[in-house]
Structure 1
């Protein structure tokens, strides 16, 4: 199977390569990185990059991808909406399985993010999954001030420590959702909270593989 991944940061490449090596060694990953998409989506809204996203997805399909996984939560909905134009090639957003898991875990859900533009798409996704599951959810959000600047400066440890410290302040909730794939490793650094902390990379990659494999087994 060939899976194309649409990233808005090159930092995601080793994360997904490691997950592939650990759980899906036969999987071929093709990484497409467009950092400008996140910047433009934050400035003008996700729909402002819809044409570019569609062009990238079509290119991945032409190059032989069996499925495409969008790893950026800010443009995930735009990517999903482009799927009908790809002639049957599935397009998945990496955070949808995480949102479904969060809804199944509890009613009080706290979304943590380091980029403010991520809150809208992530909260909307969790609420969509709640409707699908017939559940009512109480959504809260927590912005990690100053963390994204560290990420952009290449200070990954400083970035993750800020996120972990923020997670440790969360109380009165059933589950914590890390809105961005870049935040995933912060879950292991959180030392105080005993709450479930969900991140998207592993769940999203597993779902993308199953999306392609399940029809072939049917």
Structure 2
């Protein structure tokens, strides 16, 4: 049985992602490492503090010790730490938003990126730009920061969070061919945003797990 270790910086995505794994990769052993202090420290600093980066790398090492065949980094805010850590870790690290960013860059020219935190928006914009550069393609990126939505969510007002996100999506969709949800926790709104805007909407959880499945197949085909 293959083992996937998913590393979380907060609590919100673990249960929804577990359900996606059960559907896409029902026969793997899934281990979750959750440290919800990580996203709190990132939000407070407005960037990735050195302490957060060090703790994440330690968790990647712990994942190796747990027998991970693949590590899934589930937080878009810290994906660049995963990039830097790949040379230190002996198993593949999949970033949950990599496939989403690649799909957006490959298939669309004007890409609206929705996020409730600047610390997630900026890395996602950079990732999509990087994927477009790899394709030799020019894309237009539209900033879709839903200001106030994150505070509403952590303040126990999910309806207000959803309202702000919906209003932001309606504004951004006028300039975009597709909407990209920068945070995996926003995936629950994918269908409602699609219906409200009439535009394609991409979210990361399923695409990320499908990439994990692809990497596991490659490992089976090319054991080392």
- Report TM bin, short chain: over 0.9
- Name the counterpart of 2:208: 204
Shift of 1:215: 2.8
Offset of residue 158 of structure 1:
4.4
Match of 2:103 in 1: 101
For these two proteins, the number of residue pairs brought into alignment is 217
| Aligned residue in 1 for 2:139 | 137
CA RMSD of aligned residues (A): 1.6
Query: What's the counterpart of residue 164 of structure 2?
Result: 162
Partner of 1:26: 27
Q: Which residue of 2 aligns with 1:171?
A: 174
Among 85, 89, 92, which residue is 2:88 paired with?
85
Q: Among 65, 73, 76, which residue is 1:73 paired with?
A: 76
Greater mean deviation of Cα atoms: 6-15 or 55-64: 6-15
CA pair 17-139 structure 1, distance change in 2 beyond 3 A: same
Residues 48-106 of structure 1, C-alpha deviation per residue, up to 9 Å, x if partnerless? 2221111010001101111111111110110221122112x001111110000101221
Provide the rounded CA distance (Å) in 1 between the counterparts of 2:151 and 2:192: 19
Q: Which runs of 5+ in 2 are unaligned?
A: none
CA contact (8 A) 1:176 1:197 kept: yes
Question: CA contact under 8 A between 1:160 and 1:185: conserved in structure 2?
Answer: no
Output the CA distance in 1 between the equivalents of 2:158 and 2:213.
Answer: 28
The 8 Å contact of residues 174 and 195 in structure 1, kept in 2 or not, is answered as yes
Distance 1:202 1:65, change over 3 A: same
Structure 1: 5+ residue stretches without partners: none
Q: Distance in 2 between matches of 1:26 and 1:156?
A: 34
Give, in whole Å, the separation in 1 of the partners of 2:75 and 2:111: 20
CA drift of 1:21 comes to 1.7
The C-alpha deviation readout for 1:109-137, integer Å capped at 9, x for no partner, is 11110011112211110010001111111
More displaced 10-residue stretch of structure 1: 97-106 or 40-49:
40-49
Q: Which residue of 2 aligns with 1:115?
A: 117
Instruction: Measure, in 1, the Cα distance between the counterparts of 2:156 and 2:32.
Output: 20
Report the TM-score, using the length of structure 2 for normalisation: 0.90
- Distance in 2, matches of 1:142 and 1:133, equals 24
